Amino acid sequence: MTNNSKNIAIIGAGPGGYVAAIRAAQLGADVTLIEKSLLGGTCTNLGCIPTKAMLNSVETILKMRKAEQLGIKILKDKIDFSLFMKKKDSVVEKSRKGIEFLLKKNGVNLIYGKGELLSKNLIKVTIANGEERIQADNIILATGSSPFKLRIFDFEQPTILTSDNLMVLDEPPDSMVIVGGGVVACELAMVFHLLGTDITVIEMLPNLLPLQDKRQSRYIERSFKKEGIKFLTNSKVEGVKEYGEDFAILSVEGKDDVKAKKVVVCIGRTPNSRDLGLENLNIEMDRGFVKVNNKMETNIPGIYAVGDLIGGKMLAHVASAQGEIVAENIMGHEAIFDDRMIPITIYTHPQVSSIGLTPDQAKENGYEISLGNFPFSASGKANAIDESEGFIQIVADKNSGEILGAQMVGPDVSELIHLVAFAMQSELLIKDLSEMIASHPTLSEAVVEAALSCIGRPLHTIKL
């Protein structure tokens, strides 16, 4: 460590913490990373990575259903759940080892233990055989979040689960009720439905994916109906009427009771801010979340927080971006966090992606908008791969041409959304996006077509 270097300690090695550690080390800091459980946090071990591995496997089932239309006859289609989960576990382990390798190569000191703030420059770490004291010039809090547990459910009962528990099931249940109709709920509904589980999703708001554009919600509801996934909207679970050894019966306000082998509660997440020593420093909080400015600094100079711990858009890539910003700021660079440019993807079938403002939000913000639309049914590539369900919608300022946002449903929109994200981050105008030349046939052409529609000169659709 040189005389000019910083000594940084980070509590939590999820996508916010480990990225902050790597970036700070690259900038010359002496970094200690503290993790009480597994490298990678929820994202790597119980969230993003395992669920996407599972989704990749079950999407093979969807392709097999269409095989005969393509002249391919599948003779054996039984799912071996143990192999299915073994594949998921191997992907998770590979991701963890990758993180460990990067930390080591960047010279980050990794300590496994529970960190607690004692002062603005001192952390107590409880380890397997005692405790350590870590001195630091700066401290980054990146402890993440946990599934929110509704009090009306007894989580000691084996029939009541969180999304975390689903990642370690021995076999898919015959039936499952998912309480909540948001991102995690809809992804899990799709996975376990394709594994043969009878699914019922219960959402108290009027639509599934209630935080997304209404057009996107309607597509997913239509997809669920087509797949035979049952869902109840405008429906509130009042409580559990009966717990059995292998079932639970839920009471739903104004509707019939719902019975299932397993009940999964997916109604959001709560920050891991307890037992962190925040009260020792009087760090400002808001409903359990740590308050920070746009440089990710708390009210205590030198102490920062990132990721789910601070609320907002609780996404892994948000935490990672914030981790980089913190490292830059601590090491003397200027960086701020702007949440307007964050792409969001939901890995249902079809996929759902969005960025920026919806048409309604743009109007509420006083914009006069231009709206461009292109259906995948008009895409040569989408039809060629038999994935023509969905659309791309782009919102722009009618006067300036500024791209305000985009909403997508369809094949590989988790990748396509980044064309619009890059354009927005580069401050390109909608005309610039419309002039991009995309290979033919590709799905990327649909983004250009939506941009052309937005400026009033669609090529492969009719202007409405």
344-346: strand order across its sheet: 344-346, 351-356, 403-410, 391-397, 369-375
Query: Is the distance from CB of 313 to CB of 298 less than 8 angstroms?
Result: no
The dihedrals phi and psi of 138, each to the nearest 5 degrees, come to -135, 150
In a shared domain, residues 330 and 427? no
**pLDDT at residue 75 in the model:** 64
Q: Does the residue 461 lie in any domain?
A: no
Residues 276 and 262 in one domain: no
Judge if 376 and 334 occupy the same domain: no
pTM score over 0.85 = yes
> Are residues 446 and 401 part of one domain?
yes
**Rounded distance, CA 18 to CA 154, Å?**
34
The reported pLDDT for the residue numbered 1 is: 42
Tell whether omega for the bond before 441 is within 30 degrees of 0, i.e. cis. Answer: yes
Contact 325, 52 (CB under 8 A): no
User: Is residue 345 assigned to a domain?
Assistant: no
* Structure confidence at residue 225 (pLDDT): 95
Amino acid 3: pLDDT: 41
| pLDDT recorded at residue 259 | 96
What tokens appear for 284 in the block?
């400002």
Q: Which tokens is 145 given?
A: 């979040």
Does residue 37 share a domain with residue 138?
yes
In whole angstroms, give the CA distance from residue 201 to residue 189.
7
Residues 441 and 303 in one domain: no
* Distance of alpha carbon 295 from alpha carbon 253, whole angstroms: 44
Give me the pLDDT at residue 61, please: 78
CATH number of the CATH domain containing 200: 3.50.50.60
pLDDT at residue 2, as a whole number: 43
The Cα 92–Cα 37 span in angstroms is 14
| CA dist., res. 61 & res. 66, Å (int) | 9
> For the chain, how many structural domains are there in total?
3
DSSP state of 211: T
* 321: helix, strand or coil: helix
pLDDT of residue 363: 96
Which of 339, 359, 391 corresponds to the end of one domain?
339
- Residues annotated as catalytic are 440
In a domain, 153, yes or no: no
Strands, E, within 55-127: which ranges? 109-112, 114-119, 122-127
Residue 155: inside a domain? no
- 448 and 330 assigned to the same domain: no
Chain centroid offset of residue 43 CA: 8
Q: Given this model, what pLDDT does residue 58 score? A: 83
Kindly state whether residues 255 and 295 are assigned to the same domain: no
| 192 lies in some domain | yes
CA distance 343 to 351: 13
**What are the E-state strand segments in 181-247?**
198-202, 230-232, 237-243
- Do 217 and 122 sit in the same domain of this protein? no
Share in percent of the chain as helix, strand, coil (round to 5)? 35, 25, 40
**Is there a single domain that holds both residue 130 and residue 13?**
yes
In order along its 464 residues, the chain shows pLDDT tens digits of 444 579 999 999 999 999 999 999 999 999 999 999 999 999 999 888 988 888 888 888 777 777 777 677 776 666 788 888 899 999 999 999 999 999 999 999 999 999 999 999 999 999 988 999 999 999 999 999 999 999 999 999 999 999 998 888 889 999 999 999 999 999 999 999 989 999 999 999 999 999 999 999 999 999 999 999 999 999 999 999 999 989 999 999 999 999 999 999 999 999 999 999 999 899 999 999 999 999 999 999 999 999 999 999 999 999 999 999 999 999 999 999 988 889 999 999 899 999 999 999 999 999 999 999 999 999 999 999 889 999 999 999 999 999 999 999 999 999 999 999 999 999 999 999 999 999 999 999 999 999 999 999 888 887 65
Choosing from 310, 339, 368, the residue where a domain stops is 339
Question: Looking at the structure, do residues 380 and 439 belong to the same domain, yes or no?
Answer: yes
Give residue 67's pLDDT.
72
User: Is residue 443 within 8 Å of 382, Cβ to Cβ?
Assistant: yes
**What is the domain extent for residue 262?**
160-267
Domain at 395, CATH number: 3.30.390.30
